[in-house]
Amino acid sequence: MNNIFVYCEVEEGVISEVSLELLTKGRSLANQLGCQLEAVVVGCGLKLVEKQVIPYGVDVVHIADDARLEPYTTLPHAAILNKLFAEEKPQIALMGATPIGRDLGPRVSSALHSGLTADCTSLEIGDHEDKKAGMVYKDLLYQIRPAFGGNIIATIINPDCRPQMATVREGVMKKEKINANYPGVVKNLEVAKYVTDLDFAVQIIERHTEKKKINIKGASIVVSGGYGVGSRENFKLLYDLAAVLGAEVGASRAAVDAGYAEHDRQIGQTGITVRPKLYIACGISGQVQHRAGMEESAQIISINSDPEAPINSIADYVITGDISEVIPKMIKYYKLNTK
Amino acid sequence: MKGLKIIVLAKQVPDTRNVGKDAMKADGTVNRAALPAIFNPEDLNALELALRVKDSVPGTTITILTMGPGRAAEIIREGLYRGADSGVLLTDRAFAGSDTLATSYALAQAIKEMGHFDLIVAGRQAIDGDTAQVGPQVAEKLNLPQVTYVEEVLSVEKASIVMRRRLDNGVETVKSPLPMLLTVNGSAPDCRSRNVKMLMKYKHARTITEKQEATEDYTHLYDSRPFLYIREMTVGDIKADADQLGLTGSPTKVKKIDNVVLQAKDAKKLTTADEGINDLMKELIESHVIG
């Protein structure tokens, strides 16, 4: 009772990265709170799926395995979580800020009347004193996220309602197995007790998925452009530099909104989170929402004509100038001085 | 086939995409007055999707429902200029401080008062919060099926709707019974522009509060043109449990707000001069960061 639950996304028997990252975070929160970590896996063909999650320090894995549960649709997954959470009364429930988690989370939070915070960039445990009510709350989940266009960082709490729910984007938390032989147990859910025929009102008629072509997350160097790049044409300079360095091209939300780059390249709180060896920020002002997606890069170069650009304060190198002048010089030196 | 009754959920938001230098006050709080108030972008995609259903199914009507302060009536007029048929402004101090759940509750209670509907269409998320929660929560409160991230309605039958939705790595075609709620992705078609005839027709559309505060008297118009009436609902018009409204009804509380203050690192500062850039590249190659 009152444990931490992580809803694990699964596709064709494989647990998603973001879920494993959340289990890692969930384990450390559980250690702090002295409670157990439980995982929920809902899908089909889930034989031995527990072997993928238990090594992350999962004490109990709840498995709902039924052909009708994959691919994901909202209502049956929500019905399972609503009932399971009503029975198990978790104090914290986490899910990925993915298309699935952001569809499912609000549905469940509404049904349970519990608070949900979207796209957290950090989760911590802490106390809260409500002076007006004269109440002290121990060990709440601090759900920390940028808000209001990234101008502020808000710490959100749910003092009275349970579970305290939060979604977190892929790549924000680290993933770490703790013990290949961790003694977790499996509880198979009797699916028919959790869903009704009405939960299958929405049918998937057709589905086309493709592997992502752009792999910014795995790139060791990222050349990224912001609104200051100025145009889609100017973005070509970034592709040139990336091609020479073996890098991927990323973009800020402002650049994506302006149509300079595809949505798949967006880095930041509402995009991809990256941790490359080198991040070259071109014409990026550096709102906190963008920084949330890249500030853990090992080294950061900022090229910006504005010497006061906020991103400069987290950069290791600041080049004040126009990218159309700077990038060709970088390419030229690199070509002349490597084999 | 009979026309559909569509409700479009829309929000007036501060334009957080264009935050200027005066967006923060000296005390570090957000200066909302310095940010222009706009029709939330994905709610415009939602309106366009609804308008396309209206184009293909004659007799369809669109009502825009928004919750906000009095000036949010602006986006209802904006919607009327683009082809919506009527609007409802849900406004009351009792709603102040609502989180997404309390907002969804108030909207759902208002919808219950609005009578029969077939379809609710909302933008995926609003740019001031980026939570994407209100759509699914309203669906849950009304016990409706939901489909999120919709790009296009492919067909509408008497009791069902088929639509294409965007996934991270592809697309899905799904069929849902009506009534239902769908949320529209930013990748859906942009909203059509204002129609001049509609602009002329609706430019004096007002809520009752706006009429009372107006300096010019158009009273004579309202009697002969009932479509100029923007319905205003307050907490008294919805059967709501006060404990579920506003700050009290919000399970999430803001514990604290930190302004973004950057701790400057000791960065190496360079100009566009060749020497500095060459030294930097040399350093990166030697330390095997690149190359």
Contact at CB, B175 and A205, closer than 8 angstroms: yes
pTM: predicted TM-score of the whole model, two decimal places: 0.84
| Spatial distance between the Cα atoms of A307 and A305, rounded to a whole number of angstroms | 6
Q: What pLDDT, on a 0 to 100 scale, did the predictor assign at position B215? A: 78
- Predicted pLDDT at A305: 94
Task: Let me know if residue B133 belongs to a domain.
Answer: yes
At A201-247, the pLDDT tens digits run 999 999 998 776 677 887 889 999 999 999 999 999 999 999 999 89
Domain span at residue B56?
5-244
Question: B160: closest CA among B146, B180, B142?
Answer: B180
Dist CA A318 CA B32 (whole Å): 32
pLDDT of residue B223: 79
pLDDT along chain B (291 residues), means of 10: 95 78 60 83 98 97 97 97 98 94 98 97 92 97 98 96 92 97 95 97 93 78 87 96 94 86 72 91 86 73
Instruction: Assess contact for A99 and A119: CB atoms under 8 A.
Output: no
For the cut 70, the answer to whether the pLDDT of residue A255 exceeds it is: yes
pLDDT at A210: 78
Question: What is the ipTM score, two decimals?
Answer: 0.88
pLDDT at residue A1, rounded to an integer:
74
Mutation choice for B interface testing from A77, A85, A116 by most B CBs within 10 A: A116
Residue B173 lies in a domain: yes
Read off the DSSP letter of residue A227: G
Measured in angstroms, the CA of A34 and the nearest CA of chain B are apart by: 24
Predicted local distance difference test score (pLDDT) of residue B262: 52
Determine contact, residues A266/A256, Cβ cutoff 8 Å: yes
* Total domains present in chain B: 1
B21 domain residue, yes or no:
yes
Task: Output the domain CATH number for residue B68.
Answer: 3.40.50.620
In a domain, B265, yes or no: no
Q: Find the closest chain B residue to A276 by CA distance.
A: B289
Provide the residue type at B196 as one letter.
Answer: V
In a domain, B150, yes or no: yes
| B172 with A204: Cβ contact below 8 A | yes
From the candidates A92, A102, A327, which should be mutated to test the interface with B, based on the most B CB atoms within 10 A?
A102
What pLDDT score was predicted for residue A133?
A: 86
Tell me whether residue B53 is in a domain. yes
Helix (H) or strand (E) holding A62: strand A60-65
pLDDT at B168: 81
| Euclidean distance between CA atoms A121 and A171, whole angstroms | 10
Q: Residue B261 falls within a domain, yes or no?
A: no
Domains of chain A: 4-200 (3.40.50.620), 221-337 (3.40.50.1220)
B23-77 pLDDT per residue, tens: 666 655 566 677 889 999 999 999 999 999 999 999 999 999 999 999 999 999 9
Q: CB distance A211–B169 less than 8 Å? A: yes
CB B146 within 8 A of CB B83: no
Cβ separation A202–B280 shorter than 8 A: no
Looking at residue B290, its pLDDT comes to 85
pLDDT class of A51 with cuts at 50, 70, 90 = very high
Query: Which member of B24, B130, B259 has the closest CB to residue A118?
Result: B130
Is residue B141 assigned to a domain? Answer: yes
**Across the interface, do A151 and B16 touch by the CB < 8 Å criterion?**
yes
pLDDT score, position B164 = 98
